[in-house]
Amino acid sequence: MAEHARVEIRCSGSGGQGILLAAAIIAEAAAALGRHVVQTQSYGPEARGGASKAEVIISEGPIDYPEVQTPDVSLVLSQAAYHKYAGDTKPGGLLVYDSGLVELDPGDDRVVRCGLPFTAVAADELGKKVVTNIVALGALAAVSGILPVEAVRDAVLSRVPERFRELNEHAFGLGLRLGQEAEPVTSSAPQTA
């Protein structure tokens, strides 16, 4: 975050995908590093299955306006969330999305895009779709560089119950590897993952 005084992050997906936990982990990681942080959340009346979002603002100084307007980084885990929230991503910002669940609008070159199969990795490699959000956090940490990977990993482990720490640490590691191997794109050329 050396060059950014303020970074706005939006995590979005369907209710039940762990979006709120993902944002809380990002906020906790930033706070542990001494950053100023605000985390908010919003979800539809559907609770499970409806589009939801959680937002984090990280700043080197006080946060005067605690609402995300144009996220620098958007993490999107569902098609409905993509249509509802991703369009606000800042031009030149980073859009990290689940390539198995989200189909991007053709020709949208205004953001850097990084599609990775978070849900497929969680299901196929761990047998647990419930950790898709943690796989996505690992990739986001690697691709965005906003926070040190270790800080995010530590926040993951502090937020999950002890009996699930090993599973979540493995999920984070798989996501980290995905992110490290990713090749974000800025053109409308097809992306494979």
**CATH level 2 (architecture), domain 6-181:** 3-Layer(aba) Sandwich (3.40)
Residue with tokens 């990084």: 114
Q: Say whether pLDDT at 4 is over 60.
A: no
Burial 81-112 (b: 16+ CB within 10 A, else e): bbebbbebbbeebbbbbbbbbbebeeeeeebb
Is the entire prediction scored with pTM above 0.85?
yes
d(CA 129, CA 108): 29
Q: Say whether pLDDT at 164 is over 80.
A: yes
The continuous run of DSSP H or E covering 113 comes out as strand 112-116
Q: Helices in the chain by DSSP H: which ranges?
A: 19-32, 79-85, 118-126, 132-144, 149-159, 165-181
Per-residue tokens: 192: 């494979």
48 falls in which pLDDT band (50, 70, 90)? low
pLDDT of residue 191: 46
d(CA 149, CA 186): 24
46 falls in which pLDDT band (50, 70, 90)? low
pLDDT of residue 184: 85
Read off the pLDDT of each residue in 89-114 and give the average, rounded to a whole number: 93
Q: What angle do CA 187, 18, 151 make, to 5 degrees?
A: 75
Q: Say whether pLDDT at 51 is over 90.
A: no
Of 51, 187, 180, 43, the closest CA to residue 110 belongs to 187
